[in-house]
Amino acid sequence: MLINISVTGEDGEREAEIANAVAEQFTRTVADLEQSDGEGVSPVKASLIRPARAATVPVSPNPSRNLALGLSLGLMLGVAAAVLREMLDTRITGASDVQRVSDRPVIGGITFDRNAPRNPLMVQDGDYSPRAEAFRAVRTNLQFIDAAEQPRALLFTSSLPGEGKSTTAANLALTLAASGASVCVVEADLRRPKLLEYMSLDGTAGLTSVLIGQASLDDVLQPYGDHLTALGAGAIPPNPSELLGGPAMRALMDDLRSRFEYVVVDAPPLLPVTDAAVLSKVVDGTIVVVGSGIVRRHQLAQSLATLNSVDAKVLGVLLNRLPSSGASTYGYYHEYGPSAATDPPRHGRRERAAPGREARWWNRPRRTVETVGDQAP
């Protein structure tokens, strides 16, 4: 029987001496305890086979083993965290999340712009920013969604407040008007109207004035630029749903269709109130604006179910507030446009000069400073 004796400590020489001393004492103790006759002969003999030596390599810490264990544990924890986040985080951040909820097409994606609260109407002539190009792409995609019927009266709504439906409707109306089509944008959000505020127009009289017979349509229509006309909400009524669902609203929409090529309607969110579901019956199609990182999958599914319950024609989903970079980026509009040559470098990176035009020291612009006395101009 082999008995191994190991001593662990910080000093290798001292631990080796302790191990050898224990082995020597163990052999003497066995010989004293196992004496069975008077002659002092023990039937059990313990002898030292290999003396202990000071270790040249420490047994702890083991960098290779610790590094391998750390990498393995880190990888497992990372995978577990990613799976847990995927299961618990149900916010919609991209087109793939929309496809998990509904089979409705994603007609475009609008990137988030920090200047949007200060300047909501970003689409102007000659603007080739990523946000403006995204709206132009949405305008093109709308022509192919229902090519047979060509919907002209479009309703814009969302699931929750704050997803950017009003700014999206206004910018898309500007984009349609920029193509030369006559467009009328209607502020049908009679709960919290914001559209005319963004356009800096008078909202004293508007949609409610026409619906209750206090004013005619020609009296409340306000021109905005070329080919665009705005119809504000007017005074906020106590019964918006009943007012929007009445026959006067249907007759008003028929009148607007006869006057304009496109009618863009800004409606309230679907989940808090039923105004958008009521308005979806008097338009040609509904577009649901989804704010990235704001609405969750079950909320979008509930909004689409509300529209399906009234047999509304949902043309598609429009993603808004998408990140300008990263995995959730929609499209590649930032690579094109005349502003690419004048925009400052992004992410702190310095742009390189074209081949053959490096800024050498001999062709850099130089300045001459003349001194007069002790002063330099």
Does the pLDDT of residue 377 top 50, yes or no? no
Distance set, CA 167 to CA 149, 268, 277 (Å): 26, 13, 20
- The mean pLDDT of the chain is 82
In 22-136, DSSP assigns E strands to 106-111
228-231 and 221-223 strand pairing: antiparallel
Q: What pLDDT does 326 receive?
A: 52
Q: Give dist(CA 81, CA 279) in Å, integer.
A: 43
pLDDT band for position 285 (cuts 50, 70, 90) = very high
Kindly report which listed range (1-15, 69-83, 138-152, 340-354) carries the lowest average pLDDT score.
340-354
- Both tokens assigned to 241: 């749903």
Q: Report the alpha-carbon distance of residue 225 to residue 168 in Å, rounded.
A: 18
Q: Does the pLDDT value for residue 330 go beyond 70?
A: no
Q: How far apart are CA 208 and CA 238, in angstroms?
A: 11
Q: Which range is most confident: 54-58, 115-119, 286-290, 343-347?
A: 286-290
What pLDDT score was predicted for residue 353?
Answer: 39
Length of the chain: 377
The secondary structure of 37-101, three-state, reads CCCCCCCCCCCCCCCCCCCCCCCCCCHHHHHHHHHHHHHHHHHHHHHHHHHHCCECCCHHHHHHH
Q: How far apart are alpha carbons 99 and 211 in whole angstroms?
A: 38
Q: Over the stretch 178-221, which tens digit does the pLDDT of each residue have?
A: 889 999 999 999 999 998 988 889 888 899 999 999 999 999 99
Q: How confident is the model at residue 143 (pLDDT cuts 50, 70, 90)?
A: confident
Separation of alpha carbons 231 and 44, rounded Å? 110
Rounded Cα gap, residues 171 and 198, in angstroms = 10
With bands split at pLDDT 50, 70 and 90, how would you rate the model's confidence at 125?
low
Q: What pLDDT, on the 0 to 100 scale, is given for residue 1?
A: 86
Q: Say what the pLDDT of residue 340 is.
A: 36
Count of C-beta atoms within a 10 Å radius of residue 64: 8
66 versus 127: the higher-pLDDT residue is: 66
The pLDDT > 90 percentage for the chain reads 50
Q: How confident is the model at residue 363 (pLDDT cuts 50, 70, 90)?
A: very low
Confidence of residue 347 (pLDDT cuts 50, 70, 90): very low
Q: What is the pLDDT of residues 49-106, one digit of tens each?
A: 899 888 888 878 888 889 999 999 999 999 999 888 878 888 998 999 999 999 999 9
Please provide the CATH number assigned to the domain covering 89-341: 3.40.50.300
pLDDT of residue 113: 76
Pinpoint the residues of the chain covered by CATH 3.40.50.300. 89-341
| Cα gap 312→290, rounded to integer Å | 17
Is the confidence at residue 327, as pLDDT, over 70?
no
Whether pLDDT at 333 is above 70? no
pLDDT confidence of residue 32: 79
In tens, the pLDDT along 7-46 reads 988 888 899 999 999 999 998 888 878 766 666 666 788 8
- Range with the poorest average pLDDT among 122-131, 133-142, 298-307: 122-131
Percent pLDDT > 70 in the chain is 81
Residue 301 has pLDDT above 50, yes or no: yes
- Higher pLDDT, residue 335 or 164: 164
Per the listing, tokens 């989903």 go with: 317
Higher pLDDT, 245 or 358: 245
